[in-house]
Amino acid sequence: MTSVYDDQPNAHKKFMEKLDACIRNHDKEIEKMCNFHHQGFVDAITELLKVRTDAEKLKVQVTDTNRRFQDAGKEVIVQTEDIIRCRIQQRNITTVVEKLQLCLPVLEMYSKLKEQMSTKRYYSALKTMEQLENVYFPRVSQYRFCQLMIDNLPKLREDIKEISMSDLKDFLESIRKHSDKIGETAMKQGDEETFENYYRKQRKKQARLVLQPQSNMHETVDGYRRYFTQIVGFFVVEDHILHVTQGLVTRAYTDELWNMALSKIIAVLRAHSKCLDDYLYIGKSNSLFYKMENKDIFEEDNYSPIPIVSEEEYKIVISKFPFQDPDLEKQSFPKKFPMSQSVPHIYIQVKEFIYASLKFSESLHRSSTEIDDMLRKSTNLLLTRTLNSCLLNLIRKPHIGLAELVQIIINTTHLEQACKYLEDFITNITNISQETVHTTRLYGLSTFKDARHAAEGEIYTKLNQKIDEFVQLADYDWTMSEPDGRASGYLMDLINFLRSIFQVFTHLPGKVAQTACMSACQHLSTSLMQMLLDNELKQISMGAVQQFNLDVIQCELFASSEPVPGFQGDTLQLAFIDLRQLLDLFMVWDWSTYLADYGQPASKYLRVNPNTALILLEKMKDTNKKNNIFAQFRKNDRDKQKLIETVVKQLRSLVNGMSQHT
Residue 172 has pLDDT above 90, yes or no: no
Residue 442 has pLDDT above 60, yes or no: yes
Query: Cα separation of 577 and 605, whole Å?
Result: 10
Give mean pLDDT, residues 15-22. 84
Q: Is 307 in a helix, a strand, or coil?
A: strand
Query: Cα separation of 488 and 511, whole Å?
Result: 31
The pLDDT assigned to 175 comes to: 52
The pLDDT assigned to 4 comes to: 54
The three-point CA angle 193-196-198 to 5° equals 110
The pLDDT assigned to 245 comes to: 73
Residue 639 has pLDDT above 80, yes or no: no
Cβ pair 533, 588 in contact under 8 A: no
Q: Fold for 493-659, please state it.
A: Methane Monooxygenase Hydroxylase; Chain G, domain 1 (1.20.58)
Who has greater pLDDT, 251 or 554?
Answer: 554
The pLDDT assigned to 497 comes to: 92
Cβ pair 580, 556 in contact under 8 A: yes
Looking at every residue in the chain, the average pLDDT score rounds to 81
Amino acid at 433: S
Give mean pLDDT, residues 614-632. 64
Cβ pair 608, 594 in contact under 8 A: yes
Give mean pLDDT, residues 623-639. 49
The pLDDT assigned to 649 comes to: 87
Contacts 24+ apart (CB under 8 A), 199-203: 199/248, 199/249, 200/249, 200/253, 203/238, 203/257
The three-point CA angle 477-483-489 to 5° equals 70
The pLDDT assigned to 611 comes to: 92
In terms of Cα–Cα distance, which of 475, 474, 482, 487 is closest to 626?
Answer: 482
**Position 207 confidence tier, pLDDT thresholds 50, 70, 90:** confident
Of the candidate ranges 30-39, 129-138, 304-313, the one whose mean pLDDT is the lowest: 30-39
**Position 290 confidence tier, pLDDT thresholds 50, 70, 90:** low
CA distances (Å), origin 339, targets 190, 330, 346, 457, 512: 64, 18, 12, 20, 17
The pLDDT assigned to 393 comes to: 86
CA distances (Å), origin 157, targets 152, 154, 161: 9, 5, 6
Three-state SS annotation for 185-245? HHHHHHHHHHHHHHHHHHHHHHHHHHHCCCCCHHHCHHHHHHHHHHHHHHHHHHHHHHHHC
Residue 48 has pLDDT above 90, yes or no: no
Give mean pLDDT, residues 517-528. 94
* CATH dotted code for 295-456: 1.10.357.30
First to last CA, the chain: 125
Who has greater pLDDT, 48 or 461?
Answer: 461
Give how far the C-alpha of residue 95 lies from the chain's centroid of Cα atoms, to the nearest Å: 20
The pLDDT assigned to 210 comes to: 83
The pLDDT assigned to 171 comes to: 60
Who has greater pLDDT, 640 or 99?
Answer: 99
Give mean pLDDT, residues 223-230. 80
CB atoms within 10 A of CB 237: 13
The pLDDT assigned to 626 comes to: 44
Query: Cα separation of 488 and 477, whole Å?
Result: 11
The pLDDT assigned to 288 comes to: 47
Q: Is 336 in a helix, a strand, or coil?
A: strand
In terms of Cα–Cα distance, which of 425, 357, 348, 415 is closest to 384?
Answer: 415
CA distances (Å), origin 49, targets 35, 44, 310, 457: 22, 9, 85, 83
486-507 pLDDT per residue, tens: 999 999 999 999 998 888 887 7
**Position 386 confidence tier, pLDDT thresholds 50, 70, 90:** confident
List Cβ neighbours of 65 (8 Å cut-off, separation of 6 or more).
none
Query: Cα separation of 560 and 553, whole Å?
Result: 10
542-592 pLDDT per residue, tens: 899 999 999 999 999 999 998 988 888 888 999 999 999 999 999 998 888
Give mean pLDDT, residues 101-108. 84
The pLDDT assigned to 294 comes to: 43
Residue 176 has pLDDT above 70, yes or no: no
Q: Counting beta carbons within 10 angstroms of the beta carbon of residue 381, is it exposed (0 to 12), middle (13 to 18) or buried (19 or more)?
A: middle
List Cβ neighbours of 353 (8 Å cut-off, separation of 6 or more).
285, 288, 289, 292, 379, 382
In terms of Cα–Cα distance, which of 506, 391, 500, 496 is closest to 453?
Answer: 391
Residue 478 has pLDDT above 80, yes or no: yes
Give mean pLDDT, residues 599-618. 90
Output the CA torsion 608→614→620→621 (10° steps): 150
The pLDDT assigned to 401 comes to: 87
Cβ pair 156, 117 in contact under 8 A: yes
The pLDDT assigned to 627 comes to: 45
- Supply the DSSP string of 431-485, one letter for each residue: T--TTSTTPPPP-HHHHHHHHHHHHHHHHHHHHHHHHHHHHTT----TT-SS--S
Residue 638 has pLDDT above 90, yes or no: no
**Position 204 confidence tier, pLDDT thresholds 50, 70, 90:** confident
Residue 615 has pLDDT above 80, yes or no: yes
Who has greater pLDDT, 446 or 187?
Answer: 446
List Cβ neighbours of 96 (8 Å cut-off, separation of 6 or more).
none
114-124 pLDDT per residue, tens: 888 888 888 88
Residue 274 has pLDDT above 50, yes or no: no
Of the candidate ranges 221-225, 327-331, 413-417, 622-626, the one whose mean pLDDT is the lowest: 622-626
